[in-house]
């Protein structure tokens, strides 16, 4: 089905370019027409090669996901990757560097997750930082990279830098509002600003537009920070 759609689009584009070329170059002679036809053929080949490259990159990405999706939760210590996971990581790094933009973005996100999972925090942060600074990447995924970059450093990272990056993710119209606000509340606790933390956690606990996990953790933190509780 997908191949049929691609073929129809390619054929229609090729036909339209030929029609435009015929109108533009009418009367210029057979030699010019041959050049125009060759150009139209080259354009069709270009579209086909782009499609093939995208399909190949997608297949490589899905294979890399299967090779790396078995990793345990993020480790605090550097642990070696198995042979299969190493191959998957290498594929992700190659895709991030040279594949079409959409696949490159997803590959960079997964690369960071794999690096974090085996304890290479510096490499994980570098991958997410590269993505959040990539102006060509999808804004939503750039924001996710920012969130992951901050979450990974929430216990020991530079607080002003973390607050600066998290602040752009908050707001009721922002996709990562709940998780970003939770991270900011955690920073409040870390700095001893308990009143601010209680306020943020209470708002999250009562919100119906945040993930259920965020709401549950906020309810638990609200109780834990309640000065009237034992």
- Determine the average pLDDT of the residues in 79-97: 93
Higher pLDDT, 39 or 203: 203
pTM for this entry:
0.74
* Residue 145 falls inside a structural domain: no
* Residue 147 falls inside a structural domain: no
Residue-wise pLDDT tens digits, 17-73 = 444 433 333 333 334 434 433 444 443 433 444 566 678 888 898 999 899 888 777
* Residue 181 falls inside a structural domain: yes
Same domain, 116 and 162: no
Same domain, 126 and 157: no
Q: Are 221 and 186 in contact (CB under 8 A)?
A: no
C-alpha–C-alpha distance, residues 38 and 25, integer Å: 14
* Residue 217 falls inside a structural domain: yes
Range of the domain at 175: 153-230
Looking at residue 100, its pLDDT comes to 81
* Residue 193 falls inside a structural domain: yes
Looking at residue 71, its pLDDT comes to 79
pLDDT at 107 over 50: yes
Number of domains in the chain: 3
* Residue 201 falls inside a structural domain: yes
Same domain, 23 and 94: no
Q: Are 99 and 57 in contact (CB under 8 A)?
A: yes
N- to C-terminal Cα distance for the chain? 64
Same domain, 183 and 230: yes
Same domain, 173 and 228: yes
* Residue 28 falls inside a structural domain: yes
Same domain, 161 and 133: no
pLDDT at 189 over 60: yes
Looking at residue 226, its pLDDT comes to 82
* Residue 19 falls inside a structural domain: yes
Same domain, 134 and 176: no
- Determine the average pLDDT of the residues in 159-177: 94
pLDDT at 79 over 80: yes
Residue-wise pLDDT tens digits, 110-158 = 999 999 989 999 999 999 999 999 999 999 999 999 999 999 999 999 9
Q: Is 64 left (phi over 0), alpha (psi -120 to 50) or beta?
A: alpha
Same domain, 129 and 201: no
């Amino acid at each position: 089905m997908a191949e049929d759609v691609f073929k129809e689009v390619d054929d229609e584009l090729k036909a339209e370019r030929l029609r435009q070329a015929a109108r533009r170059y009418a009367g210029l002679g057979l030699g010019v027409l041959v050049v125009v036809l060759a150009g139209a053929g080259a354009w069709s080949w270009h579209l086909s090669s782009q499609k093939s490259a995208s399909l190949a990159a997608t297949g490589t990405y899905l294979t890399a996901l299967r090779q790396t999706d078995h990793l345990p939760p993020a480790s605090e210590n550097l642990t070696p990757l198995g042979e299969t996971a190493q191959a998957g990581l290498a594929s992700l790094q190659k895709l991030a560097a040279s594949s079409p933009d959409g696949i490159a973005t997803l590959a960079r996100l997964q690369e960071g997750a794999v690096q974090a999972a085996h304890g290479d925090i510096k490499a994980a942060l570098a991958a997410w930082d590269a993505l959040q600074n990539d102006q060509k990447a999808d804004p939503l995924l750039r924001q996710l990279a920012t969130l992951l970059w901050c979450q990974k450093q929430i216990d020991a990272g530079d607080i002003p830098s973390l607050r600066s990056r998290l602040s752009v993710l908050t707001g009721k119209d922002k996709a990562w509002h709940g998780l970003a606000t939770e991270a900011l509340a955690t920073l409040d606790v870390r700095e001893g600003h308990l009143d601010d933390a209680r306020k943020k956690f209470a708002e999250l606990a009562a919100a119906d537009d945040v993930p259920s996990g965020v709401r549950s953790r906020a309810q638990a933190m609200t109780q834990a920070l309640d000065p009237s509780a034992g």
